[in-house]
C-alpha cells in the first residue's frame, strides 16, 4: 500500500519551486513537514549554521529539530538565544526549542517566572516539557508556580489546557513527585478528558477508581467535559456508572447522586443519548428529567421532542411535547424554537393546518423572539406548497418589509422567492438584479444569476474588490505579546509567532474601531495561521460580511474567506478533479479550518470525516489505514475528504448541491429524495430537504463556494434550474 508519503508528494506540487530555498524551507515548516524543509536547505547548501543571519538560524534550527538532527538544531539556534532584537517572550520561545534538542547536560538561560506567566499556554507547555528533560527541579518549580493560577479553568481551547497539564505532569514525574503527578492527571480527567494530549496519562486511571476517589461533584464535571467534547458514548457509559441504579427510574433522576447533582447528570446523559442517535433511550431519560428537574425542564423537553422527531412515527408525540414546552414555559427562550419545530414536524406529517397554527402562534405572540420572522417564512413556504401562490406572495412581501435591514439572510430568501414566483417578468428581473448586487456572494444570488442568464440577462458580479488589498497600517503602539510575535516571525519561527498573535491585546473590542484587530489577523495570515485569522474575523466582523464585498471591506472578506491550508487543499482538490474553491468552502463550513476538531457524531478534522468513511477512502486510494491522529493531519484529511466529495459528485452527475447533501446526510438519503422529488426545480428541491441540518449545510457550503470564486476574480457561481442539470465534469 502507498503511504502518507503520497500526500507529501501531492503537497510538494503546490510549493513554489521558484521561491528562494530559504522561503521554500519556511513554507515546508508551515505545512508541518520539517524533513522536506531540511532537504531543501541541504540541496541549496544552506544546512550549516550562519550566526550572523537570524532568519536562516531560525528556519534551519526548526527544520533540523523536526527532522531529528538535534546537534545541528542546537548549533543553529544557539545565536538566537541572546539575540538583542528579540524581546523576552520571543527569547522564551527560542529557549524552549533549544532546550528540547540540546546535548545533556546543556546550559540554561535564566527564565523569569513573570515572562513564563505572560506566555500563551502552548508556549508554557513546550518550555515545561523541555525543562523536564534538562533540569527537572527547575521544571517542577515552574510547574508549581503555574499551577497556582489553575490554568485548566480558563477559557482557552481544551487542547491548549490539555497540553499544559500533560507538560506539568511530565515535570512532576521527572522530579519524582508522583503524588503531584497523580493530582494533575486527575485534574486532566476532570476537565479535559477527551483531549489526545492527555490520553496516555489517563490510560492508567480507571474511571470507577477516580470517581470513587474524587466524589460526585468532580465526577459530574468530568461527565459534562466529555459531553462538551462530543464523546457521547463515553458520557452514557460513565453516566450509568455514576448513577449505579440507572440514570432514571419511573420517578427519579440518578438517585445515587446528591440532590444538587442529579439533574445535571441526567440531562447530560439524555443529551448524549440523543446525539449518539439512541433516540428511544433519550426520550425516556429526558422525559423524567423534564418532570423532575425544573431548571433543566425547557431544555429537556426540547431535546425530548427532537429525539421523538427522529423516530419513525414519533412526530405526533414530538408535537405534543413541544407544545407542552411552550405552554408550561412561555418565557423560556426555547418556547418559539419549540413551536417552530412543532410546525416543521406537523408539515412533514402532512398536517398543514396544525403547522400553520404553530407558526402563526410564534408570529402573533412572540414578536421579539429570534425565530419570529423565521416562523413567518415557514407560513409563506407552506402556503406556496399548498398551491396558494398569490397568498404566498402576500406573505413574502410582508417578510421582505419586516426583514429589510433587520435580518438580511431572511430578506435574501424572501426576495428571491418573491421574484421567482411573480408573473411580472420585468419586476422579477429587477428584484433578482437587486439581490445579486446587494448580496453577490449569497446562495440566493447564485440562484438569481442562473435565473437571469436563462432569461437572457446575465448579471454583473456585484463585487467591487481590489485584486490585492494594500497592507493595513500597523497600530501606533504594540503590546509585548504582539511585538514578540513579530520578532519571532522575523527569524522564521512562524508557529510560535502564531501562538502569540492569538493572545494579542489588540484583539479587543476597543481596538476594532481603528482596524487594529484586522491588522493582527493579517499578521496571523502572514505567518500561516489562516484558520485563526478567519475565525476571529468571522466572529468579530460578522456584520460586514452580510452585504456586498467592497473596497473598504476587502480585508474583512479576504480574511474571513482565506486560502487556509492552501497547499494541502489545492493539491487534494486537483488530485480528486474538483475545483479548489469548492474544497475550501467545504472545509470552511465543516471545521472552520480547525484541523483538530471532532464533531458530536465523531467526525474528525479539516473536512470532518467519520473514521469509517476515511478508512474506505484511504483503501480506495491505496493509502495506509488512518487512525484518529493521522486524520488530524490537514493534508491527509483534505485528500480523503476531496476523494469522498468527488465520489458523490460522480454518483449525482456533477450536481454540487446533491453531492454536498450526500456528504452531510449520506448518499442513500439523497437518492431517496431524488427518487421522490427529482423532477422539482433545484431551488425547490433544496428548500424541501427534510433534514434541517442538511438543508442549511447545502446552502452554507454553496454560499462559501460562491464567495471563494467571487473573491478570487473567477466566474461567479450560477446554480442550474433542474436537479438533473450537471454543474461539474469529473
Ordered DSSP codes for 85-118: TS-HHHHHHHHHHHHHHPPSS-------HHHHHH
Task: Single out the residue of 634, 650, 656, 730 nearest to residue 700, CA to CA.
Answer: 656
Task: Single out the residue of 81, 92, 181, 91 nearest to residue 136, CA to CA.
Answer: 181
**Cβ atoms of residues 479 and 487 within 8 Å:** no
Distances (CA, A) of 690 to 345, 349, 685, 695: 10, 11, 10, 7
Task: Single out the residue of 298, 333, 302 nearest to residue 319, CA to CA.
Answer: 302
- Give the burial class of 543: count Cβ atoms within 10 A of its Cβ; 0-12 exposed, 13-18 middle, 19 or more buried: exposed
All three cell numbers of 406: 433587520
* Segment (H or E) for 121: helix 121-134
Task: Single out the residue of 660, 653, 618 nearest to residue 638, CA to CA.
Answer: 618
Q: 126-154 burial, b for 16+ CB within 10 Å, e for fewer?
A: bbbbbbbbbbbebbbebbeebbeeebbee
Helix (H, G, I), strand (E, B) or coil at 729: coil
**Cβ atoms of residues 56 and 22 within 8 Å:** yes
Helix (H, G, I), strand (E, B) or coil at 422: coil
pLDDT of residue 463: 63
Give the angle 85-90-93 at the CA atoms, nearest 5°.
140
pLDDT of residue 222: 97
The CA distance from 341 to 343, in Å, is: 5
The CA distance from 29 to 449, in Å, is: 42
pLDDT of residue 11: 41
**Cβ atoms of residues 578 and 649 within 8 Å:** yes
Ranges of H-type helices in 472-579: 480-490, 494-501, 516-526, 530-540, 554-560, 566-576
pLDDT of residue 461: 64
Distances (CA, A) of 729 to 85, 617, 653, 725: 54, 21, 8, 11
**Cβ atoms of residues 723 and 639 within 8 Å:** no
Helix (H, G, I), strand (E, B) or coil at 601: coil
Q: Which residues pair with 248 in a beta bridge?
A: 253
Neighbours of 245 (CB within 10 A): 11
Active site amino acids: 590
The CA distance from 711 to 552, in Å, is: 14
Ranges of H-type helices in 229-366: 232-243, 259-275, 279-292, 297-309, 315-328, 335-348, 352-365
Residue 687 — φ and ψ, nearest 5°?
Answer: -65, -20
Distances (CA, A) of 440 to 377, 437, 655, 716: 22, 6, 21, 8
Task: Single out the residue of 691, 707, 580 nearest to residue 645, CA to CA.
Answer: 580
Neighbours of 104 (CB within 10 A): 7
Q: What is the dihedral of CA 609, 610, 612, 616, to 10 degrees?
A: -20
Distances (CA, A) of 522 to 263, 505, 527, 536, 557: 46, 15, 9, 11, 12
All three cell numbers of 184: 494533575
All three cell numbers of 378: 415557514
Which residues are CB-neighbours of 438 under 8 A, at least 6 positions away? Answer: 462, 547, 548
Count how many residues are written for the chain: 730
All three cell numbers of 696: 442549511
Task: Single out the residue of 580, 571, 639, 579 nearest to residue 605, CA to CA.
Answer: 639
Task: Compute the chain's Rg from CA coordinates.
Answer: 28
pLDDT of residue 8: 42
CA atoms within 13 A on the CB side of 147: 21
**Cβ atoms of residues 265 and 292 within 8 Å:** no
Q: In which residue ranges of the chain is pLDDT below 70?
A: 1-18, 461-468, 509-513
Amino acid at each position: 500500500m502507498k503511504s502518507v508519503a503520497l500526500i507529501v508528494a501531492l503537497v510538494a506540487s503546490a510549493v513554489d519551486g521558484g521561491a528562494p530555498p530559504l522561503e521554500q524551507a519556511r513554507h515546508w515548516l508551515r505545512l508541518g513537514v520539517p524533513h522536506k524543509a531540511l532537504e531543501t536547505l541541504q540541496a541549496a547548501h544552506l544546512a550549516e549554521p550562519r550566526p550572523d543571519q537570524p532568519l536562516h538560524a531560525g528556519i534551519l534550527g526548526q527544520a533540523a529539530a523536526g527532522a531529528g538532527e538535534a546537534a545541528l538544531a542546537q548549533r543553529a539556534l544557539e545565536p538566537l538565544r541572546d539575540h538583542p532584537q528579540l524581546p523576552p517572550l520571543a527569547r522564551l520561545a527560542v529557549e524552549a526549542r533549544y532546550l528540547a534538542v540540546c546535548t545533556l547536560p546543556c546550559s540554561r538561560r535564566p527564565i523569569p517566572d513573570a515572562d513564563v506567566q505572560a506566555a500563551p499556554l502552548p508556549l508554557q507547555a513546550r518550555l515545561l516539557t523541555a525543562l523536564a528533560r534538562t533540569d527537572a527541579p527547575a521544571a517542577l518549580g515552574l510547574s508549581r508556580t503555574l499551577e497556582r493560577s489553575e490554568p485548566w479553568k480558563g477559557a482557552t481551547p481544551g487542547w491548549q489546557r490539555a497540553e499544559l497539564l500533560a507538560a506539568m505532569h511530565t515535570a512532576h514525574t521527572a522530579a519524582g513527585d508522583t503524588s503531584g503527578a497523580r493530582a494533575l492527571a486527575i485534574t486532566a480527567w476532570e476537565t479535559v478528558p477527551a483531549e489526545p494530549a492527555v490520553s496516555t496519562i489517563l490510560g492508567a486511571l480507571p474511571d470507577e477508581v477516580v470517581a470513587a476517589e474524587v466524589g460526585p461533584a468532580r465526577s459530574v464535571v468530568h461527565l459534562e467535559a466529555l459531553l462538551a467534547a462530543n464523546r457521547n458514548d463515553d458520557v452514557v457509559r460513565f453516566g450509568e456508572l455514576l448513577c449505579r441504579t440507572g440514570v432514571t427510574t419511573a420517578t427519579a433522576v440518578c438517585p445515587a447522586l446528591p440532590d444538587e447533582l442529579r439533574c445535571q447528570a441526567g440531562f447530560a446523559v439524555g443529551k448524549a443519548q440523543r446525539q449518539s442517535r439512541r433516540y428511544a433511550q433519550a426520550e425516556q431519560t429526558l422525559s423524567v428529567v423534564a418532570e423532575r428537574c425544573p431548571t433543566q425542564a425547557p431544555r429537556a423537553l426540547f431535546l425530548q421532542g427532537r429525539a421523538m422527531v427522529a423516530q419513525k412515527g414519533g412526530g405526533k408525540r414530538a408535537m405534543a411535547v413541544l407544545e407542552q414546552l411552550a405552554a408550561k414555559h412561555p418565557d423560556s427562550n426555547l418556547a418559539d424554537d419549540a413551536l417552530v419545530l412543532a410546525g416543521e414536524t406537523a408539515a412533514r406529517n402532512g398536517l398543514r393546518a396544525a403547522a400553520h397554527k404553530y407558526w402563526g402562534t410564534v408570529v402573533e405572540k412572540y414578536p421579539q423572539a429570534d425565530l419570529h420572522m423565521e416562523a413567518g417564512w415557514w407560513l409563506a413556504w407552506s402556503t406556496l406548497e399548498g398551491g396558494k401562490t398569490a397568498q404566498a406572495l402576500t406573505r413574502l412581501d410582508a417578510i421582505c418589509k419586516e426583514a429589510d435591514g433587520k435580518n438580511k439572510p431572511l430578506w435574501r430568501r424572501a426576495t428571491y422567492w418573491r421574484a421567482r414566483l411573480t408573473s411580472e417578468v420585468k419586476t422579477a428581473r429587477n428584484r433578482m438584479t437587486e439581490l445579486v448586487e446587494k448580496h453577490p456572494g449569497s446562495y440566493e444570488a447564485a440562484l438569481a444569476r442562473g435565473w437571469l442568464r436563462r432569461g437572457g440577462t446575465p448579471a454583473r458580479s456585484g463585487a467591487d474588490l481590489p485584486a490585492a488589498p494594500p497592507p493595513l497600517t500597523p497600530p501606533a503602539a504594540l503590546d509585548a505579546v504582539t511585538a514578540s510575535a513579530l520578532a519571532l516571525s522575523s527569524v522564521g519561527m512562524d508557529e510560535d509567532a502564531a501562538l502569540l498573535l492569538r493572545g494579542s491585546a489588540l484583539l479587543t473590542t476597543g481596538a476594532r474601531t481603528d482596524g487594529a484587530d484586522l491588522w493582527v489577523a493579517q499578521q496571523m495570515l502572514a505567518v500561516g495561521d489562516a484558520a485563526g485569522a478567519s475565525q476571529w474575523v468571522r466572529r468579530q466582523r460578522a456584520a460586514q460580511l452580510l452585504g456586498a464585498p467592497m473596497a473598504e471591506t476587502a480585508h474583512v472578506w479576504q480574511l474571513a474567506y482565506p486560502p487556509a491550508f492552501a497547499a494541502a487543499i489545492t493539491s487534494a482538490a486537483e488530485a480528486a478533479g474538483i475545483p479548489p474553491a469548492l474544497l475550501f468552502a467545504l472545509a470552511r463550513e465543516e471545521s472552520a479550518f480547525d484541523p483538530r476538531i471532532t464533531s458530536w457524531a465523531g467526525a474528525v478534522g479539516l473536512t470532518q470525516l467519520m473514521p469509517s468513511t476515511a478508512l474506505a477512502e484511504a483503501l480506495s486510494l491505496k493509502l495506509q489505514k488512518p487512525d484518529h491522529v493521522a486524520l488530524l493531519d490537514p493534508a491527509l484529511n483534505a485528500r480523503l475528504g476531496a476523494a469522498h466529495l468527488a465520489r458523490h459528485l460522480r454518483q449525482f452527475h456533477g450536481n454540487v448541491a446533491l453531492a454536498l447533501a450526500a456528504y452531510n446526510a449520506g448518499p442513500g438519503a439523497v437518492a431517496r429524495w431524488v427518487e421522490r422529488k427529482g423532477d422539482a426545480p433545484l431551488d425547490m428541491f433544496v428548500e424541501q430537504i427534510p433534514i434541517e441540518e442538511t438543508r442549511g449545510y447545502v446552502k452554507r457550503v454553496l454560499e462559501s463556494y460562491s464567495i471563494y470564486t467571487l473573491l478570487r476574480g473567477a466566474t461567479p457561481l450560477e446554480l442550474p434550474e433542474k436537479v438533473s442539470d450537471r454543474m461539474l465534469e469529473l
